[in-house]
Structure 1
């Protein structure tokens, strides 16, 4: 069985160069526009829209389900895998299940039947008890469970039932323990619980009172569990559950965002951005801003170099993690701006009301794509992908914004997960591996050509 380090190395290699090394996107021309210009100047995508049949499909995998919800990429016992979960709206012939599918050819590695649909992305950990994949499931009523699966055998190991009328969220895991938070229909600072469950058999190691667990914002760093609840972040000892420190806010808190070394974290609330020491919660710096904060984030590959703070009105500040000083500012306009930020070796990509490809040092804009939507998520490595709501997926050349193809099926999309030039997405009951390096005959329009078309009209 491969080690966790070997598995993660394989996943990183497949995903392409994101650590500053040379990558294919370093070639090609770009059309640059000044930083801070309004995104309304950009043009809509070309009208030559290929059919979904013309999109380059590397492989497809049919499931017995009529709809899918979870399509994500994570380590597995034999290397990286695509994990696919059925949707609550359509059970299909075999009921609900979680499938593990091979990245290279779409072959099903294993399938575990579940009584209810998976509602969280799989969380992988490996320890003395063997590899584990943790997922939470939930019916539309009040039943929720956490399941521990063995990816080396494709079997269910144990389950944890949440208290009545509670949802459960996996917060993080070590090799020996998975941490689970609960939530009811309210959003409060108290009245819920964090459970530490043994990887081997699910027995409870400890529990602590908590507020309502939120779907994201949790992490395990060394011997510390970071738990995000409404207007609060807590640091707990992974062995005992003892609280080391906490930070509270009078209003909604954004973050925490972590640096790559696991030494500090960043939170924002009530017009203030703070950098805190992970070990004891002491304040490293504080920065006041004159806008309503909507996000605090650090893209994974660039976490040690930049902290991004978003304004609801469409501004993005790039701050130094050392002192909070402003490096550059991007203005894209819009309403309730909540950016999705991804870093590669050559570009920084920001998703929101569109996709914006930037120089990560200067913030200078290389190209942009604005499909008149308020929710565009960007995924990038050697190809840039843009998921517009759950309606369609676009593939772009990351250097100049040339649109290579778009995938717009009749059903809603599930996913997207990406690695290198591949995008893994669900439509109906089928999982597709789409090749972002290929250009559809109906496409190939660059950002420069889109601008020239707009000027001539």
Structure 2
């Protein structure tokens, strides 16, 4: 149970329950986690959306949609609230007025990709298709009117290789397909016109921007006659599309191993100094690792080769590299802090791998570093890798988020939340949330919890 996972409280004390700022009954089960904007908290009830006042939980409005809601509402900054519904005849995007919930516009299609994408200017991008088997279309719409500004044929009927668009410095970068050919395009977000494009294999990792405006991307080539699989890194001039360099990361002549290697592609990060870090199949054979390239030339700065599977790749505040791997239940999990100039480890932290669970790393402000695992939570000193504190073992999965001065733990097996002090791990409070609870921990000094079938939203104090 979660209460056993928390560090022991001082003698004679036990974790208290949290202070509740407000609690609201939404009138029906809540099917997804709550989301919020500056004024409202939004939740999905069966076939309806409820908006509550963020300050006191009072009802602002309730919009009856009339169909099942397969995902959370999406508030557009300074715009409407987008809601996806699903019925017998297809799916629909609804745009609701944030002040009173009335419908501003809707778009119906046979299929909609989950959740639209919203760029910093508030433009809404939707991936949809008109009927089963039809090509997918990628369209840009005005958030207030729903008017289609432009659209392009995005993909042939299958879109499982689709990567979300990336908006960088006024340009929309997207991997698209036409007549069986895959293409990376730089689009004008106002018109949809291509500023430049490059034909290549499937684009498997979202592009990143280098310090000298290089666009770094990784593609896969599959089913070539002599080379069933190749993973290739590319650099382009983000403005002109000039292909500056490419480097083969991994290639295989065996189709079966190619499928295994494909699943290992995991991460691409561009450090501020121009080091391109790529985690995945970066060597020949069946080994994986971490490759550091120069963003200007594509030359290898250093590499780490391992028999283990890559997990996460993150940058520390000073530019050091956090890199995690796992191998098996017996060998477990390793987290490394690497020198960004040489790839040499500054320290290594080991954890046993729990059954069916892979640890995850979370960085908090001021450099705090936490390793989340099924059996415990570990707080590491980011400079030395030494354990500052560790929760007691407990047989439950946890979800983790950091808020100012504290760490939030959530057990999905006993339906509890726990808040512990970030510096000591001492418990602040424990709360029984009930089955199917949802969580939004990012609303200032308040934690929002939805109670699933009970249909309540609760605003809790973080103190």
Distance 1:434 1:426, change over 3 A: closer
Distance 1:386 1:44, change over 3 A: closer
Distance 1:228 1:137, change over 3 A: farther
Q: Which residue of 2 aligns with 1:295?
A: 311
Q: Which residue of 2 aligns with 1:147?
A: 139
Paired with 2:341 and 2:97, the residues of 1 have a C-alpha distance of 41
1:62-112, Cα deviation, whole Å (9 max, x unpaired): 424643435679x8358xx9x765365x699993236797xxxx9879966
Paired with 1:370 and 1:318, the residues of 2 have a C-alpha distance of 25
Q: Which residue of 2 aligns with 1:273?
A: 290
Unaligned regions of 5+ residues in structure 2, if any? 8-13, 25-35, 44-48, 50-64, 221-230, 252-260, 282-286
TM-score normalized by the length of structure 1: 0.63
Paired with 2:4 and 2:333, the residues of 1 have a C-alpha distance of 18
Paired with 1:303 and 1:121, the residues of 2 have a C-alpha distance of 34
Distance 1:326 1:44, change over 3 A: same
The match for 2:197 among 187, 193, 207 is 207
1:122 corresponds to 2:117: yes
Counterpart of 1:298 in 2: which secondary structure? strand
1:180 corresponds to 2:201: no
Paired with 1:60 and 1:145, the residues of 2 have a C-alpha distance of 31
1:227 corresponds to 2:217: yes
Q: Higher RCO, 1 or 2 (CA under 8 Å, sep at least 6)?
A: 1
Comparing 201-210 with 108-117, greater Cα deviation is found at 108-117
1:178-211, Cα deviation, whole Å (9 max, x unpaired): 1111479xxxxx9422222211121233322222
Paired with 2:196 and 2:454, the residues of 1 have a C-alpha distance of 41
Q: Which residue of 1 aligns with 2:284?
A: none
Counterpart of 1:145 in 2: which secondary structure? strand
Counterpart of 2:203 in 1: which secondary structure? coil
Q: Which residue of 2 aligns with 1:318?
A: 337
Paired with 2:131 and 2:414, the residues of 1 have a C-alpha distance of 24
Q: Which residue of 2 aligns with 1:11?
A: none
Paired with 1:340 and 1:304, the residues of 2 have a C-alpha distance of 16
1:332 corresponds to 2:351: yes
The match for 1:218 among 203, 207, 215 is 207
What are the equivalent positions in structure 2 for 1:343-354 lying under 5 Å apart?
343-345=364-366, 347-353=368-374
Distance 1:176 1:432, change over 3 A: farther
Paired with 1:234 and 1:69, the residues of 2 have a C-alpha distance of 35
After superposition, the CA RMSD in angstroms is 4.9
Paired with 2:336 and 2:394, the residues of 1 have a C-alpha distance of 23
Paired with 2:266 and 2:428, the residues of 1 have a C-alpha distance of 33
Higher radius of gyration, 1 or 2: 2
**8 Å Cα contact 1:173/1:220 also seen in 2:** no
Structure having the larger proportion of residues in strand:
2
The match for 1:196 among 151, 169, 186 is 186
Counterpart of 2:156 in 1: which secondary structure? coil
1:113 corresponds to 2:106: yes
Q: Which residue of 1 aligns with 2:156?
A: 164
Q: Which residue of 2 aligns with 1:256?
A: 268
1:294-343, Cα deviation, whole Å (9 max, x unpaired): 224115x6372333232243221121212212122222222673634323
Paired with 1:91 and 1:55, the residues of 2 have a C-alpha distance of 38
